[in-house]
Structure 1
Amino acid sequence: MSTEVQWSELQRDPKSVAALADQGDVHVRRRDGAALLLTRVDRAAATASGAIHAARALRSLLAHLPSETLAAAAASLADEFPWVDVLPPEDRRQFVADFARAFQGSAELGHWGMLDQTIREWRATAAIHADAALAACLAEPINDDLGPVRPPMED
């Protein structure tokens, strides 16, 4: 259960907002900034612990799958990340392995930037594979200076 209160309510009556936090997460809205999330430490710790266990189990499961089953795992991830379909088969398997590793690392650290970066990098790789001319150009050896480099694509 999640409840929403205004910052002024937290300032005016912190005990009642704390009671709400005992029942579930509380979103504290502020006019001058992003909303805050008020949660109990034991609930946050259980969530983090659950994420770590799930990440470890996923990584272990994927590490023991035969390569043809790993391809099926990549196909399953394509439901969430449709651009996986344009990756070559070996890259799909590597994406699954990198995804599981980044998922575990992010869960262990409690910071999900590692997983986000892994997804962004593989999405960029898929964008290259989706453009046959670009993929062919990038596969050629570089023999001279090609000039300034364009900034990477933005999300």
Structure 2
Amino acid sequence: MATEVQWSELQRDPRGVAALADKGDVRVRRRDGASLLLIREDRAQTQSEGSIIAARALRNIAVHLSPEVAVGGVLDEFPWVECLPKSEQRQFVVDFVRAFQASAELGQWDVLAQTITEWRSTAAIYADPALAKMLTGPIDGDFGPVPAPMES
């Protein structure tokens, strides 16, 4: 749990806020933007190392599980995975574990969030049989010329 202070308090008493950060994380509230989180570098490093260890352990556990058990564990957290075909459910588990490990190694959890977003969108397509059939079926005919890319 982070201690909360206002931006003005950080400006008025930076040493006092630094002392709070020595005891734990400090959330600095700002009126004109997103809050800032102050964390000591040594604590951030420990959290990062813990994330990497957890990711490696998850990867190793997943290797030893049968695909059915792994998918079952994931279904508890992501019930929409059930909308995916069985082969896609297994691939989601593989992609999830790899993205989790990559995120932990990089310290960038956007990688995992993007993987989940993409798979959730895929599950939404499979949840609509007509849409799934249209998007996964063969493409018939010529849709005409493709316009040149636009410069940004």
CA contact (8 A) 1:7 1:30 kept: yes
Q: Distance in 2 between matches of 1:65 and 1:38?
A: 39
TM-score (norm 1): 0.87
Structure 2 residue 113 is the aligned partner of structure 1 residue 116: yes
Of all paired residues, the percent bearing the same amino acid is 64
Decide whether the 8 Å contact of 1:52 with 1:107 is kept in 2: yes
Q: Does 1:64 align with 2:48?
A: no
**Is 2:73 aligned against 1:76?**
yes
Do the aligned residues in 2 keep the contact of 1:102 with 1:114 (CA within 8 Å)?
A: yes
Letter of the 1:96 counterpart = V
* Long gaps (5+) in structure 2: 145-152
1:1-155 correspondence runs (5 A): 1-66=1-66, 70-145=67-142
1:145 Cα deviation after fit: 4.1
Decide whether the 8 Å contact of 1:75 with 1:85 is kept in 2. Answer: no
Give per-residue Cα distances to partners, 1:18-59, cap 9 Å, x unaligned.
Answer: 110011100000111100000100110000000000001101
Aligned residues: 144
Matches of 1:13 and 1:75, distance apart in 2:
51
Task: Quote the offset at 1:7 in angstroms.
Answer: 0.5
1:74, distance to aligned residue in structure 2 (A): 1.6
- Letter matched to residue 46 of structure 2: A
Aligned match of 1:150 = none
RMSD: 1.4
- Kindly report structure 1 stretches of 4+ aligned residues shifted beyond 3 Å: none
In the aligned structure 2, how far is the partner of 1:6 from the partner of 1:24?
A: 16
State TM-score, norm by structure 2: 0.89
Q: CA deviation at 1:84?
A: 0.6
Is the 1:71–1:92 Cα contact (8 Å) retained in structure 2? no
Q: Which consecutive unaligned segments of at least 5 residues does structure 1 have?
A: 148-155
* AA of the residue aligned to 1:34: A
